[in-house]
């Protein structure tokens, strides 16, 4: 006779792990024939052979159950109208001890838990007749706040922690406290009444949810961190942005700083608009963030083409004007000639005085 555990281990070696019967016999120190017999032996039945003919006698339980069931019945009413007065398992155990029933508190808790699992509330479907809905109160104008509300501290990396996950906040709020409000779909950060960050809520563990816009002001000061900034490496920016950065770094010594200035444009314009402007600027050859800014400004300007005027709206201006008086121009010419003559005589006077002075000297 061999123990059942040995037989099961031999069957695992051969039938599951694929070992040979010879290797199994050597490993367990048995003959190969013994291993072959144990492999063909039927497994032991899991059916319990012994069956109880009569239920166990539980005099303490039988004495306590009527009282427990009565208190649980009272709880059905108390849970709705006076929940603070409901019977708890500890209170039931104390009362049973007063009644002289030596039942353990853990046994009372176990029975109360079993009853709670079997008695779940049921509801009646409602169908209102036409016109009865007008008696109901109006629906709320906005969805109720069902998420947690907490005060959080922004760390030096511009992140706050909520349920093991890190969410970014604008870097100017580092070392400050913000109000975090979470609903089933979004996580929002507010500074007073101002909303400063809005992220999709993450239900995974130890994840980082960042918005690259939160770090642009700091990247303008610390441009050396641009190639390795976590928010940029995991951002949903088009691939053309990284190509533009590499081009700027190749052509300019301050290429990363110029790229940070390019990202700054994304704070006031959409990423799509900036991407289109960058494509136009790169096509012109030598370009910079100022080139992209000017293209965005040009694209934002409205069409200033003047529309044709409607003559019907200006009837006073549609009459025929009299021809101009050309003699008035001739009079202007005569005045100009008189002025020139007067100026000539004024210029001759100093010359005559100078000649007379020279004659007296001689």
DSSP 158-191: SEEEETTEEEE--GGGTT-EEEEEE-SSEEEEEE
- DSSP line for 190-207: EETTEEEEEEE---SSS-
What tokens does 36 get? 């072959």
Tell me the CA distances in angstroms from 11 to 17, 29, 31, 69, 333, one per residue in order.
9, 15, 15, 51, 129
In the prediction, which pLDDT does 138 show? 77
> What pTM does this model have?
0.47
Distance CA 158, CA 181 (A): 17
In the prediction, which pLDDT does 340 show? 61
Domain spans of the chain?
4-40, 59-118, 149-209, 216-300
In the prediction, which pLDDT does 362 show? 41
Distance CA 353, CA 358 (A): 9
User: 282 exposed, middle or buried (CB, 10 Å; 0-12, 13-18, 19+)?
Assistant: middle
In the prediction, which pLDDT does 293 show? 92
Whether the Cβ atoms of residue 112 and residue 92 lie closer than 8 Å to each other? yes
pLDDT tens, per residue, the chain with 362 residues: 677 778 888 888 888 888 888 988 888 888 888 888 888 876 655 555 567 778 888 899 899 999 999 999 898 888 878 888 999 999 999 999 999 999 999 999 998 888 776 656 666 676 666 666 666 677 777 777 778 888 999 998 899 999 899 999 999 999 999 999 998 899 999 998 899 999 999 999 999 999 999 999 999 998 888 998 999 888 889 999 999 999 999 988 889 999 999 999 999 999 999 999 999 998 888 888 999 999 998 888 765 566 666 777 777 766 667 777 777 777 777 766 666 665 555 555 455 545 555 555 44
In the prediction, which pLDDT does 40 show? 82
């Amino acid at each position: 006779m061999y123990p059942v555990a040995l037989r099961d281990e031999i069957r695992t070696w051969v039938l599951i792990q694929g070992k040979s019967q010879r290797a199994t016999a050597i490993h367990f120190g048995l003959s190969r024939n013994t291993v072959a017999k144990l492999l063909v032996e039927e497994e032991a039945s899991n059916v319990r052979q012994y069956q109880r003919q009569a239920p166990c006698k539980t005099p303490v339980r039988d004495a306590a159950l009527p009282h427990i069931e009565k208190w649980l019945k009272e709880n059905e009413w108390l849970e709705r109208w006076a929940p603070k007065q409901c019977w708890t398992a500890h209170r039931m155990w104390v009362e049973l001890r007063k009644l002289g029933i030596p039942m353990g508190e853990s046994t009372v808790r176990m029975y109360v838990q079993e009853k709670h699992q079997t008695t779940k509330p049921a509801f009646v479907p409602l169908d209102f007749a036409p016109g009865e809905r007008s008696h109901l109160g109006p629906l709320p104008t906005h969805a109720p706040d069902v998420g947690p509300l907490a005060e959080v501290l922004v760390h030096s990396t511009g992140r706050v922690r909520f349920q093991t996950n890190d969410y970014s906040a604008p870097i100017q709020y580092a070392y400050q406290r913000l109000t975090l409000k979470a609903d089933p779909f979004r996580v929002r950060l507010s500074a007073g009444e101002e909303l400063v960050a809005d992220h999709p809520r993450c239900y995974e563990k130890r994840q980082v949810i960042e918005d690259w816009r939160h770090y642009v002001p700091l990247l303008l000061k610390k441009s050396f961190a641009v190639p390795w900034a976590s928010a940029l490496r995991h951002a949903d920016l088009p691939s053309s942005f990284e190509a533009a950065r590499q081009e700027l770094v190749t052509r300019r010594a301050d290429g990363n700083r110029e790229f940070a200035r390019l990202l700054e444009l994304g704070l006031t314009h959409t990423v799509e608009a900036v991407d289109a402007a960058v494509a136009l600027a790169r096509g012109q050859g030598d370009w910079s963030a100022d080139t992209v800014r000017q293209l965005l400004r040009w694209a934002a300007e409205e069409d200033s083409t003047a529309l044709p005027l409607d003559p019907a709206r200006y009837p006073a201006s549609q009459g025929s004007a009299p021809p101009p008086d050309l003699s008035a121009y001739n009079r202007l010419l005569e005045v100009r000639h008189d002025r020139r003559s007067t100026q000539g005589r004024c210029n001759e006077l100093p010359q005559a005085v100078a000649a007379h002075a020279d004659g007296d000297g001689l």
